[in-house]
Structures are given as C-alpha cells and as structure tokens.
C-alpha cells in the first residue's frame, strides 16, 4: 500500500467514509483514525500499529452533542467537565453505548471520548460526520508522532492517508480522566492538569497504584515511547559518560556540554514536553546511543512529562 498525504479535509473525510485509515493532527499528537462504526477499519488500526488488543481507542468528536451517540449516560459531573473544558487535550472515560463495538473499547464497558482543540482536526471530524476512533499514529511501543513525517516513518505503507496540518501544540497525549465513579480519577496525566480539573471538580485525584480498580489505564501497562537510544532521567549534576553518541534534553544547559553530541535546552516545561517525542526520534536518526533527560518537578504539566519519561527510560 502506498501512503498518500494531503492537506484537503474532504479527501481525508471521504477516505474515512470508505473504510480507510487516515492519520490526522490534533493539539496533542497525530492520531490514526477510523470510523467508529466500521468494525473492519477498527480492526485494521490494531493491525497497522501492532497494537495489543487490550488497549482501547479514544473516540474523537467534533462537538459535545456527539458524545451521546457513543455513551450510555453522561453524569452531571461529566457534563460539567465537558462544559468547562471541551475542546481540550482531555479524554473522559464514560459508560459505553451498547451499539459501539467492543473492539473500540478493547472489551471494556467504558469508552474514552475527547474533542480536540485543533481547528483542522475539528473541521476534519465535522466533514467525517460521525465520531472517529483514533489512537496515536505510531507503531505500538514507539514515541507518539508530533509531525506528519514521523507518522510516515512509522506507518508508511501500512495506512492509506496522512492529513497534514499544523503541528501539535502540546506534544504529549491527552489527560485521561475516569468519570464513571463518584469522583473523577486521572488515569493518565496530560496537559490538562490536576490543578485545572480541581477548579471544576475539587475531589479529582490521581489513580492510586493497585487500589483503584481502574488504576493504570489499560494502555499505561504496555511498554511505551521506546526509541533506539537508551533514555535515562538525570539531575543536571549527574554525569554518566558511557558513550560518545550521547544526547541531552532539559531545562538547564548541561554542566559538561562537551560530553553531548546533541543538545536541546528548552526554556519552559511546556516546550520541553512539546519537544520530547520528536527529540527521541531525532536521536534515533542521528544514531545516538543514549539520551539523558533532565528531571522536572512533578507539578502541572511536569507530572505528565515525568510520566512519559519514566515509562520511556531504561532501568539502571
């Protein structure tokens, strides 16, 4: 299969309606979309990505009114969150509508729904005319793609089309929030932070490892974000020189700049987060053996960044 690229949402929407797989940009990362009602196309997403069958897909909607078509109920609490945040890098886990195939939710009775805050993504979803299920458009286990070129590197020859557009502003996947209980529980941290959510529902909390039945949103159990360079989290003072193909990314310049063949210093945690996945891929292209990532404080978006870093890092 030859993977085409386009900037035309009508071409992309008509490919989706024909049952094809289309990658599209959002404000978080590129997604790999199929019609939510097309169970054959949904199966093909898992095949194209090599995605474990127990890892559910997020359903993308063009407007809040579409949520009713994929869920069986929306609590008052969930409705408040929709009103306050959508469109946003926030996925709400809600009770699944019985008509939506179990393939989308990987067998779960719940479904993740989000409305992306990205003009082209919303126009594309509107043109599709129905919800689109889309996980990140990378090969399973690899860093999520933040450019259309990264999508082609991972999935070229396995998907039909890439809709090219403005690059993601956030660069980390959405916050996943379980709204099926009495209080919202963050299953995966993202750019919509605990602090943001508590302004709307003050009892929001993080999932407690091993305590919440939902703890560890399915996808968080699988290996993630692995590039070919070994990733280590470092405090800037730490220095471990084991190779001359060494890269660094962080907020502070490295104390021993000569030790690194490739360096990216970000001036804010947000910019660090936005750059991370593309930097991991750049390290690969430039044959880096090891990548040192500076630790950041675990508040706000720093929590999401540290979550991705720790899942991508090698154990000592």
Q: Give the binding site for Mg ion (CB under 5 A).
A: 136
Return the bridge partners of 96, or none: 71
Give the HSE-up count for residue 163: Cα atoms under 13 Å, Cβ half-sphere. Answer: 31
Binding of residue 188 to ligand AMP (CB under 6 A)? yes
H runs (alpha helix) in 32-118: 39-49, 76-85
Instruction: Out of 89, 171, 218, 250, point to the residue binding ligand AMP (CB under 6 A).
Output: 218
Q: With CA atoms as reference, report the closest residue to 137 among 32, 45, 26, 49.
A: 32
Q: Structure tokens of 59?
A: 């359903």
Q: How far is the CB of 188 from ligand AMP (least distance, A)?
A: 6
Binding of residue 111 to ligand AMP (CB under 6 A)? yes
Instruction: Out of 41, 67, 100, 176, point to the residue binding ligand AMP (CB under 6 A).
Output: 176
Cβ neighbours for 299, distance < 8 A, ≥ 6 positions apart: 193, 195
Binding of residue 105 to ligand AMP (CB under 6 A)? yes
Instruction: Out of 82, 93, 151, 291, point to the residue binding ligand AMP (CB under 6 A).
Output: 93
Binding of residue 135 to ligand AMP (CB under 6 A)? yes
Q: With CA atoms as reference, report the closest residue to 231 among 279, 191, 273.
A: 279
Instruction: Out of 3, 5, 14, 55, point to the residue binding ligand AMP (CB under 6 A).
Output: 55
- Residue 220 binding: pick among Mg ion, ligand AMP, none (C-beta 5-8 Å cut-off by kind): ligand AMP
Q: How far is the CB of 105 from ligand AMP (least distance, A)?
A: 5
Complete edge-to-edge strand list for the sheet that includes strand 230-234: 230-234, 290-294, 246-250, 262-265
Binding of residue 132 to ligand AMP (CB under 6 A)? no
C-beta closer to ligand AMP: residue 38 or 290: 38
Q: How far is the CB of 27 from ligand AMP (least distance, A)?
A: 13
For the chain, where are the E strands, in sequence order? 4-6, 22-24, 31-35, 58-60, 90-95, 110-114, 132-133, 161-163, 175-178, 185-188, 205-206, 230-234, 246-250, 262-265, 290-294
Instruction: Out of 110, 191, 282, 294, point to the residue binding ligand AMP (CB under 6 A).
Output: 110
Instruction: Out of 25, 33, 112, 145, point to the residue binding ligand AMP (CB under 6 A).
Output: 112
Binding of residue 180 to ligand AMP (CB under 6 A)? no
C-beta closer to Mg ion: residue 58 or 92: 58
CA–CA separation, 273 vs 178, rounded Å? 23
- Percent composition of the chain: helix, strand, coil (DSSP 3-state, to 5): 30, 20, 50
Of the candidate spans 4-12, 55-63, 149-157, 160-168, the one that interacts with ligand AMP by CB under 6 A turns out to be 55-63
C-beta closer to ligand AMP: residue 225 or 272: 225
CA–CA separation, 175 vs 46, rounded Å? 22
Binding of residue 168 to ligand AMP (CB under 6 A)? no
Planar angle of CA 184, 79, 122, nearest 5 degrees: 105
Q: How far is the CB of 300 from Mg ion (least distance, A)?
A: 22
Decide: 216 and 311 in contact? Cβ < 8 Å: no
Q: Which residues of this protein are in contact with ligand AMP, per CB under 6 A?
A: 55-56, 58, 91, 93, 105, 108, 110-112, 135-136, 173, 176, 187-188, 217-220
């Amino acid at each position: 299969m030859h993977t085409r690229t386009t900037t035309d949402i009508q071409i992309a929407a008509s490919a989706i309606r024909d049952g094809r797989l289309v990658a599209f940009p959002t404000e978080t990362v590129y997604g790999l979309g199929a019609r939510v009602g097309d169970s054959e196309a949904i199966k093909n997403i898992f095949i194209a990505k090599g995605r474990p069958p127990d890892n559910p897909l997020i359903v993308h909607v063009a407007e809040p009114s579409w949520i009713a078509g994929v869920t069986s109920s929306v609590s008052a609490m969930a409705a408040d969150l929709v009103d306050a945040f959508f469109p946003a890098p926030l996925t709400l886990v809600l009770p699944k509508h019985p008509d939506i195939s179990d393939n989308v939710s990987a067998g779960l009775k719940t479904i993740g729904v989000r409305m992306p805050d990205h003009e082209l993504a919303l126009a594309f979803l509107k043109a599709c005319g129905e919800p689109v299920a889309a996980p990140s458009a990378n090969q399973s286990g690899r860093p999520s793609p933040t450019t259309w070129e990264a999508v082609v590197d991972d999935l070229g020859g396995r998907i039909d089309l890439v809709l090219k557009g403005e690059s993601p502003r956030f660069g980390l996947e959405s916050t996943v929030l379980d709204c099926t209980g009495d209080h919202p529980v963050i299953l995966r941290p993202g750019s919509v932070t605990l602090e943001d959510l508590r302004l709307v529902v003050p009892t929001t909390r993080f999932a407690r490892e091993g305590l919440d039945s939902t703890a560890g949103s399915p996808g968080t159990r699988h290996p993630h974000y692995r590039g070919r360079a070994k990733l280590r989290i470092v405090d800037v003072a730490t220095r471990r020189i084991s190779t001359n193909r060494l890269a660094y990314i962080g907020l502070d310049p490295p104390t021993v700049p000569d030790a690194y063949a490739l360096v990216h210093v970000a001036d804010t945690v947000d910019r660090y987060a936005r750059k991370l996945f593309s930097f991991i891929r750049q390290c690969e292209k430039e044959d880096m053996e090891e990548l040192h990532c500076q630790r950041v404080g675990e508040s706000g978006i720093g929590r999401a960044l540290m979550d991705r870093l720790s899942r991508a890092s090698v154990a000592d």
